[in-house]
Amino acid sequence: MRNFIASLPKAELHVHLEGTFEPEHIFAMALRNGIELGYESPEAIVAAYDFHDLPSFLTFYYKAMHALQTEQDFYELTYAYFEKAAADNIVYVEPFFDPQGHTSRGISFATVINGIHRAQQDAEQNLGVKSNLIMCFLRDMSAESAMEHLQLSLPYKDWIIGVGLDSDEKDNPPMKFKAVFDRARAEGYKLTMHCDVNQKDIVSHIWECLNDIDVERIDHGINSLEDDALCAEIAKRELGLTICPVSNQFVVQTYTTDEIRSMLRKGMKPTINSDDPAYFRAYLNDNFEALVEHGNFSQSEILQLVKNSFEVSWLEPTDKNGYL
């Protein structure tokens, strides 16, 4: 099965570039930029990982971002992820980035996106990995800040395919960002939002994504299974759900294999993704292998999940056909 998974050309639709920041790179970049993070070695960084819920992960995730200072840093972060992706036989990616995590530290939007974009171009040329970037807003920051960043992104519109919403979901419902997402749609961006596993008010957040925001995809969305009408509506709209099994294991202590099977059975379109692979120590193939190990997934189930990723991707239909 390992070889089977490795041999399949795959797409990844839920990976945070800042979540691909490997401890060796955090350490080296912090040193090179004179940033004091308080760790003596890459091993000390890993030893500090203690993720058991979303906030405990996010605290560390934002702390490590301080090591990223220059355009070259963003280039190296992004290119290193694409090298990992190529090794996993990923041919297409829609990666997320979190500009507010950087502008809030005094790093310009241009520094961030120029570095990422150059790495995307080089990865397509040198590694054969194509990608389209998704800009995420941090939902624990204000709607005004999100709108400002939407404005900042407009000169780079051709480099960004869509917008998403991530960070701490508690008391930060989709509706808080309705005006921002309406404007983003009017500017031509595709729309997705995180509905993280087992967060407060999660089922109503997913309904808001459908009824008020009119998203074109849902990131995570595991808890939709608690509401039959919600599942039926997601299936009817053919909305993709970007599920992250190893990430879920950190939050709910299961790889959510039963939930993924339920979605397949209900005609929903789950896809498999790595989320923050450097922190969760699992890239995309590892996530598929977890389904085999912990849920005894068959080759045909794996194939269906891989096919779903291309189907619900934001590739042009003509480009999609080449992969399906």
Q: Are 272 and 288 in contact (CB under 8 A)?
A: yes
- 167 part of the interface to ligand HPA, by CB under 6 A: yes
- 102 part of the interface to ligand HPA, by CB under 6 A: no
**Minimum CB–partner distance for residue 197 and ligand HPA (Å):** 9
Of residues 260 through 299, those in contact with Zn ion by CB under 5 A are 275
What is the distance in angstroms between the CA of the first residue and the CA of the last residue of the chain? 21
Q: Are 28 and 45 in contact (CB under 8 A)?
A: no
**Minimum CB–partner distance for residue 238 and ligand HPA (Å):** 23
Identify what 167 binds: Zn ion, ligand HPA, none; CB under 5 to 8 Å per kind: ligand HPA
Closest to Zn ion by CB, 18 vs 275, is: 275
CA distance 305 to 310: 9
- 162 part of the interface to ligand HPA, by CB under 6 A: no
- 205 part of the interface to ligand HPA, by CB under 6 A: no
- 98 part of the interface to Zn ion, by CB under 5 A: no
Task: Count CB neighbours of 313 within 10 A.
Answer: 22
Q: Which residue has the tokens 């994504």?
A: 209
- 19 part of the interface to ligand HPA, by CB under 6 A: yes
Task: Say which residues have a Cβ less than 8 Å from residue 116's Cβ, sequence separation at least 6.
Answer: 17, 74, 75, 78, 97, 133
CA distance 171 to 286: 32
Closest CA to 244 of 261, 227, 267, 221: 221
| Residues of the shown chain interacting with ligand HPA in the complex, contacts defined by CB under 6 A | 16, 19, 54, 61, 166-167, 194, 196, 247, 275-276
Binding annotation: 14, 16, 194, 275-276
| Residues of the shown chain interacting with Zn ion in the complex, contacts defined by CB under 5 A | 275
